[in-house]
Amino acid sequence: MYKGLLLAAAVVTCPTVASAQDFAGARIEARIGYETPTVTTDGDDEVYKIGSAASFGGEIGYDLAVSKTVTLGAYGTYETSGVSLCDGSICLDVNHNIGAGGRVGIEISPKAQLYGKLGYTQIKISARDTGLTASDTADGVQGAIGIGVNFGRRFYGAVEINYGDYGRFYDLNLQRRQLAGSLGVRF
């Protein structure tokens, strides 16, 4: 009798646990995005774009299934940027963005997951003028909301909206907005 109950319990619960496991494990992904770093000043309600351009990079992470439909994980991201703003011989370039933090995912269908990310971010900006170059970094907080879709057992794709706030950077308030897509594999 107990064997029958255990078998019935396994049949009923395994498909739901297995679906949560579809979004769990170590992962690596290639990312491409479109980003717009912006600045604001104190006392001025205007938002000024440094520029807009493509970004390319990757992300690694690990997600753990903590319930039938929820995963918790960690991630690390590195992306290069093509954003550049020039006025005559003076140019301002966004070189890269680095991020690390936590991630929470909620299964919305057997193949799709809604997720949110919150973490640390660092942006590197360079200024150049006729042979002279200087660069500096700014640290801040980033958040993202996205949807991931499984294309089978190991492969997935995702689309996310990302916002980073770097606080004060040389008397300017620096932010970064990004729409990104990714293709990845889970191990």
Question: What's the pLDDT score for residue 40?
Answer: 87
Range of the structural domain that residue 24 is part of: 2-186
Cβ neighbours, 10 Å, residue 136: 11
The total number of structural domains in the chain stands at 1
Question: What's the pLDDT score for residue 169?
Answer: 87
Question: What's the pLDDT score for residue 187?
Answer: 93
Q: What are the two backbone dihedrals, phi and then psi, of residue 78, each rounded to the nearest 5 degrees?
A: -135, 130
**C-beta of residue 97 within 8 angstroms of C-beta of residue 132:** no
**Measured at the alpha carbon of residue 100, what is the angle toward residues 98 and 105, in degrees to the nearest 5?**
130
Question: What's the pLDDT score for residue 36?
Answer: 94
pTM listed for this prediction: 0.84
| Blockwise average pLDDT, block size 10, the chain, 187 residues | 46 47 94 94 82 96 97 98 91 94 98 98 93 93 98 96 93 93 97
The structure tokens 């992470």 sit at 61
Q: At 19, which CATH number? A: 2.40.160.20
d(CA 17, CA 14): 5
Burial class (CB in 10 A: 0-12, 13-18, 19+), 88: exposed
Question: What's the pLDDT score for residue 20?
Answer: 66
- Give the type of residue at 68: K
Question: What's the pLDDT score for residue 19?
Answer: 58
